[in-house]
């Protein structure tokens, strides 16, 4: 199907106008399921398209969902070489005294980073989270500053972290949309570490604890991420599932129980996978057109997308997409690599489902004096 769509999209050969892929009237898509979570969001990983949501920007307590950002900071430290999985961490009294969910570390003991990561991710250990935060930043307060810096970089506009665990604090807030952004970044940026979120249990100090994300047992397509619960936050769950090459991310916040958050997530996944499809239209870096470069050292310049273009659309409306590629009518050298020269737009009826800039894939330098004079004369007759 993807190859067919790619071929259809290339039916437009004009540099200024596209062609209609199909002229069938849009077919209605069923409404999303009614679930009880006061705030939730369901989106596609590749396209970022939101498929269903309720009050996704409402600020709520993250509870242990905050540990997703703790892990994101730690994974960056590992990638930058500032931390190693085999580094030994000495457990402080503060980490040892942490309440709530625990890995059951002992004060003064040295534990390798990888074991603490598993304790934090799989067992949701507050003690492990504090130990890692102290090891990286000296204390938990400074580590929270790193968390907020990364949150800002990821565009998490409704989020503020105070600690590494999600321990209740009136100033520690996030939203379903922001958590979805973080989950998407986690999967995209750190596939080598994301695997920890699919592990079902972890044994430390002769104590085996199961992953609190029970969907790992209920749905084989689910491969992460994290649960969270406090009396103020309610029951939260962010999960990702992949079926037939399509990955969805669901965040439900404030449900009444652990079973509720699981069932509501399953309902969202069932709806998304049943009624929507995600398609890669073009690959980033591929030349989609080579329009004329006036007054250039070369006759043409390759134009394409910096990143692959994905669209998520109702499966019943796949045949109703219209694609348009628009380029400047006249492209004159010099042109810088990455300079925007137009756009690709995909519509279903009046709704724009994808819009991406077309850029110069290479620099287009000016040609010699004689070539520029010739092109200048020809442009006067254009």
Q: Kindly list the catalytic residues.
A: 64, 67, 124
Give helix 176-189 / helix 66-79 axis angle, nearest 10°. Answer: 30
Give helix 113-121 / helix 126-137 axis angle, nearest 10°. Answer: 140
Task: Retrieve residue 123's tokens.
Answer: 């067992």
Nearest CA among 212, 190, 214, 64 for reference residue 128: 64
CA angle 244, 42, 25 (to 5 degrees): 75
224: region left, alpha or beta (phi > 0 left; psi from -120 to 50 alpha): left
Answer positive or negative: Cα dihedral of 59, 64, 65, 66. Answer: positive
**Positions of E strands within 137-284:** 201-204, 207-210, 222-230, 234-243, 246-255, 276-282
């Amino acid at each position: 199907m993807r190859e067919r769509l790619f071929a259809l999209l290339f039916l437009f050969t004009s540099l200024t106008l596209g062609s209609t892929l199909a002229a069938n009237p849009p077919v209605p898509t069923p409404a999303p399921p009614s679930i009880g979570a006061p705030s939730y969001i369901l989106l596609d990983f590749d396209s970022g398209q939101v498929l269903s949501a309720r009050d996704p920007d409402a600020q709520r307590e993250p509870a242990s969902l905050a540990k997703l950002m703790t892990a994101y900071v730690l994974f960056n430290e590992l990638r930058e070489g500032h931390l190693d999985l085999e580094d030994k961490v000495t457990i402080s009294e503060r980490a040892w005294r942490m309440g709530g969910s625990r890995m059951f570390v002992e004060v003064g003991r040295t534990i390798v980073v990888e074991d603490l990561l598993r304790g934090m991710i799989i067992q949701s250990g507050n003690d492990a989270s504090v130990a890692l935060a102290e090891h990286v930043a000296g204390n938990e307060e400074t580590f929270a500053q790193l968390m907020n810096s990364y949150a800002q970089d990821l565009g998490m506009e409704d989020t503020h972290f105070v600690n590494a665990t999600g321990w209740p604090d009136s100033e520690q807030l996030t939203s379903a949309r922001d958590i979805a952004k973080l989950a998407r970044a986690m999967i995209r940026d750190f596939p080598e570490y994301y695997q920890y979120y699919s592990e079902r249990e972890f044994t430390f100090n002769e104590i085996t604890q199961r992953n609190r994300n029970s969907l790992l047992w209920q749905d084989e397509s689910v491969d992460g991420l994290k649960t969270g619960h406090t009396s103020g936050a309610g029951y939260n769950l962010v999960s990702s599932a992949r079926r037939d090459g399509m990955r969805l991310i669901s965040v439900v916040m404030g449900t009444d129980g652990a079973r509720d958050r699981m069932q509501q997530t399953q309902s969202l996944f069932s709806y998304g996978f049943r009624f929507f499809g995600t398609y890669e239209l073009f690959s980033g870096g591929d030349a989609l057109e080579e329009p004329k470069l006036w007054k250039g050292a070369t006759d043409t310049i390759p134009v394409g997308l910096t990143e692959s273009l994905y669209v998520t659309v109702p499966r019943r409306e796949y045949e109703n997409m219209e694609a348009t590629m628009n380029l400047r009518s006249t492209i004159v050298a010099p042109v810088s690599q990455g300079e925007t020269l137009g756009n690709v737009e995909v519509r279903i009826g009046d709704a724009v489902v994808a819009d991406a800039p077309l850029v110069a894939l290479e620099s287009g330098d000016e040609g010699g004096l004689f070539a520029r004079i010739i092109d200048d004369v020809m442009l006067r007759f254009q």
